[in-house]
Amino acid sequence: MQDTSHLHIEFFSQTVEDAAATAQLGLPKFKDVEFVRIKYVGDKHSELVAPASDQTFCPERREQISWKEQFPRHYAAFAENRSILVDGTPLDELPGITGSKVAELKAQRVFSIEALAGLDGTLLQRLGPGAREWKGKAETWLMKAREGALDTKLAAQNAQMQDQLASLRAQIEAMGGKAQASTDEPVKAEVVTEGRFMGHTAGDLRRYIEATSGTKVKGNPKLATLKTMAEEVASAAEINA
């Protein structure tokens, strides 16, 4: 067993802001985090405070473990006697609430604004005079907080949409510029490079075939096919001449 006689070790819970939840919801959100505080006997200037789940090297096990695994007896003593963890927004965030009222509510195991707003019936009556007024204040605070969160969320979504539209417009403009550049370049038609129809385009050959043979060219034959057809029509015309 590890010798901790030279240390004063205590675990405690502290309310800290949940940055990720606050950013996501747009209103202050908090969570309780377990910490360890280590004081060294005889040295009032040395003290270590760290999250209980942080890793530290254990000489006995020769591996990294959490502080609560490093000092299991101290953590067990804390866990057995700790108060209920706050799940929601601390009562201190409620406008106008006093320290004494917070203490009274906590004595009744009401630790958050959400919990206060959710009380009704007998549970609400147990809070004594003025309980319904404080419940109403909690409900109003939550309603405004949710409206603010919705406005913040909609504003963020709108900003994201505007960014996407701007990016899309930039892409379209870039593509339009490339298309304009390509259309500005002169298009050279494919022509026959040898034989009696040298220099003729597909359109020229089609018109020659239809005018000479009196038959409409079907489909959209390639230049080589039209050249062959034109040569056959020309030969036939020469024979019949």
Give per-10-residue mean pLDDT for the chain (241 aa): 70 87 81 87 74 90 91 86 60 87 81 83 81 91 82 72 78 72 65 86 89 88 90 82 63
Decide: helix, strand or coil at residue 2: coil
How many residues are present in the chain? 241
Whether 57 and 130 map to the same domain: the answer is no
Domain total of the chain? 3
pLDDT, position 2: 66
Report pLDDT for 69: 93
For residue 42, tell me if it sits in a domain: yes
Residue 92: DSSP 8-state: G
Q: Is residue 230 part of a domain?
A: yes
Q: What is the pTM of this model?
A: 0.36
- How far are the Cα atoms of 32, 189, 217, 218 from residue 196, in angstroms, in the given order? 93, 18, 20, 23
Could you identify the residue written with the tokens 């060219």?
217
Q: Which amino acid is at 37?
A: R
Residue 57 and residue 136 in one domain: no
Residue 5: predicted pLDDT: 55
Residues 224, 209: one domain? yes
Rounded to an integer, what distance in angstroms lies between the CA atom of residue 136 and that of residue 141? Answer: 9
Q: Return the bridge partners of 129, or none.
A: none
Q: Is residue 127 part of a domain?
A: yes
Q: Is residue 179 situated within a structural domain?
A: yes
Q: Are residues 64 and 44 in the same domain?
A: yes
* Cα 119 to Cα 110: distance, rounded to the nearest angstrom: 9
